[in-house]
Amino acid sequence: MVGASEVVNTAVGRSAGDLRQENDEAGHWTAVEDELRSMLKGVVAANLLRRHRVGLASLQAYNISRQLLRQKEHADLLPHVDRLRRLNRFGRKRKVTAATVTRTCTTVVSTRSGTSV
């Protein structure tokens, strides 16, 4: 329409050739965008694989160290194993104390009555 009517061309303020060229450039940049997105997915996958390998090696070292602790000559590993045991989020459940139970019960009762603690 811009090329067919001088009034539309004047109203838009751009020529038909300029609009065609910009449309072609947008198509080329879309291809660049797709390539970059693919490259980013590859980097994300490679980093995930690296983290998996490091985690696996860490778990293996932890398990080997736990077994070595049964021998007195490997007592120097004890602080490391204890630290990893404390940091383990997926292992043993933490013991529930009476204070935690009381706080939870108080919060539930006060929430039901309409007041908050």
Average pLDDT for 90-105:
64
What pLDDT is stored for residue 108 in this prediction?
A: 53
Least confident range of 78-82, 93-97, 106-110: 106-110
63-69: long-range contacts, CB 8 A cutoff, minimum separation 24: none
Indicate whether this model's pTM tops 0.85: no
- Read off the amino acid at residue 21: Q
What pLDDT is stored for residue 98 in this prediction?
A: 63
- Read off the amino acid at residue 27: G
Q: What is the residue extent of each domain of the chain?
A: 69-117
Q: Note whether 91 and 85 are within 8 A (CB).
A: yes
The residue assigned the tokens 């039901």 is: 112
- Read off the amino acid at residue 25: E
- Quickly list H helices, 69-93: 78-87
Whether the per-residue pLDDT at 110 is higher than 60: the answer is no
Any residues with CB less than 8 A from the CB of 68 and at least 6 apart, and which? Answer: 74, 77
Q: Using one digit for the tens of pLDDT, what is the confidence trace for 7-66?
A: 777 778 888 888 899 999 999 999 999 999 999 999 999 999 999 999 999 999 999 999
